[in-house]
Amino acid sequence: MLIGFTYDLRDDYRKLGYSEEETAEFDPVETIDAVDAAIRACGHETERIGGLRKLVGRLSTGAHWDLVFNICEGMHGFGREAAVPALLDEYSIPYVFSGPLTLSVTLHKGIAKTLVRSAGVRTADFAVVTDPGDIPTVDLPFPLFVKPVAEGSSKGIDAGSLARDLDALEEKCLRILRDFRQPALVERFLPGEDITVSLLGSGNSARVVDVTRIVHGGDGEDFFSFRKKENLVSSLESAEGAERGKCEDLALAAWKALGCRDAGRVDIRLDANGEPNFIEVNPLPEIHPDYSELTRACRNRGISYTEMIRSILESAISRIPQAPGKGTK
């Protein structure tokens, strides 16, 4: 197959003046090189396309691919992750990972939590603050956890995210409204451990690769902040026993309810009783060859990087009605 490769290269955006935090979800060149090499190791040809605007340019010249390996995160708006899949759908080009509807509703954490709750998946009580006037109406017990409603890679999460009183809640919400120009998600704080569940596959074929506990260290910041994410401060260790089984069940239920495909992660937090609660899902997971959670989970279970990419490709190819021929550059 001829497989196009769409991605947002972090260095490209940094050269345009965007900050470290603004580009946190984008990929370093090591990821692009590793994915390209793995696809070729699976026996396919590749064409590196780049981001949304480069894809538009290639499509305007009549380019076509048998499949697109898409990891574009986008830069602006609630539909930024959905833009490339929506465009590919219009051109009837199949692609890897979830479709535009799933990527839109999962990016907005408040909508994702509403949907999984309606499907019977446990999640912490929450409110969405869309303007300063909403802050006094938040009817949840302190402490509360506050973060941007539509960001990934722990963007906007810092020491101020844990609000213990109304003044702290107001300060953090106002900062998010100002700095991120989007609503703030306010959740009842859960005091238990952070868990991430890595998955491969789609629908009833989805399977859990590993359930890993995030170990934060003794710095008093008992949650996954942007600082920890960027500096790889936290470590991972496999969870076992009854806790693992409960997390697997919750993750698979959320994965199916939201229509996620091919590979990704479901993030979970344990409450005071040790019960798992849905936090969010990442249907466009980071796939750095060394340090991403999904890659490490696969490696822990004896799945090489090339085998992981092969699994993702096979899951996507299974949705193509008929085996394609070679595309046209």
pLDDT at 318: 96
- Contact assessment for residue 199 and residue 212, using Cβ atoms and an 8 Å cutoff: no
* Tens digit of each residue's pLDDT (9 = 90 or more) over 11-50: 998 998 988 878 888 999 999 999 999 999 999 999 999 9
Predicted confidence (pLDDT) at residue 209 exceeds the cutoff of 80? yes
Nearest residue to 199 (alpha-carbon basis) of 260, 118, 279: 260
The span from the CA of 256 to the CA of 264, in Å, is 12
* Tens digit of each residue's pLDDT (9 = 90 or more) over 99-113: 999 999 999 999 999
* Helix (H), strand (E) counts: the chain: 11, 12
pLDDT at 217: 63
Predicted confidence (pLDDT) at residue 225 exceeds the cutoff of 70? no
For 125-188, which CATH superfamily applies? ATP-grasp fold, A domain (3.30.1490.20)
DSSP SS3 for 95: strand
Task: Give me the architecture of the 191-283 domain, per CATH.
Answer: 2-Layer Sandwich (3.30)
Q: Pick 183 or 235 by higher pLDDT.
A: 183
CATH code of the region 2-96:
3.40.50.20
Contacts of 294 (CB under 8 A, 6+ apart): 198, 209, 263, 264, 265, 285, 286, 287, 308
> Would you kindly state where each structural domain of the chain is located, as residue ranges?
2-96, 125-188, 191-283
Write down the pTM of the prediction. Answer: 0.90
* Tens digit of each residue's pLDDT (9 = 90 or more) over 160-173: 899 999 999 999 99
Cβ atoms within 10 Å, residue 139: 7
* Band of residue 325 on the pLDDT scale cut at 50, 70, 90: low
- Contact assessment for residue 22 and residue 153, using Cβ atoms and an 8 Å cutoff: no
Rg for the chain (alpha carbons), in Å? 20
Share of the chain above pLDDT 70, in %: 91
- Contact assessment for residue 209 and residue 196, using Cβ atoms and an 8 Å cutoff: no
